[in-house]
């Protein structure tokens, strides 16, 4: 029997990408500054704080917008 299924895939980050995360404890503007097979290193463009997280993001939308956001 077929069912409606939502499929998620990890986003293929590239170093230097400017991203905005919405609706999560990780919300905000970030720049991708490092990558490994399992981890992504992000840097806040304002505080310059870096965080290393398991790869987690899923592509939602590609658009032009102000970055970093006020």
- Confidence at residue 57, expressed as pLDDT on a 0 to 100 scale: 62
The CATH code of the domain that includes 46 is 2.30.30
Q: Rounded to an integer, what distance in angstroms lies between the CA atom of residue 28 and that of residue 25?
A: 9
Walk along the chain (70 residues) and give the pLDDT tens digit of each residue: 888 887 777 888 999 999 998 888 889 999 999 999 999 999 999 999 999 999 876 666 777 878 787 6
Per-position b or e across 18-31, b if 16+ CB within 10 A of its CB: ebbeeeeeeebbbb
Question: 31 lies in which domain range?
Answer: 1-70
pTM of full prediction above 0.85 = no
Cα(50)–Cα(58) distance, rounded to whole angstroms?
A: 20
Give the total number of structural domains in the chain: 1
């Amino acid at each position: 029997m077929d069912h409606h299924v939502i499929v998620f895939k990890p986003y293929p980050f590239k170093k230097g990408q400017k991203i905005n995360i919405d609706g999560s404890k990780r919300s905000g503007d970030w720049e991708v500054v490092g990558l490994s097979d399992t981890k992504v290193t992000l840097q806040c463009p304002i505080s310059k704080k870096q965080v290393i997280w398991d790869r987690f993001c899923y592509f939602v939308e590609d658009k032009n917008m102000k970055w970093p956001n006020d």
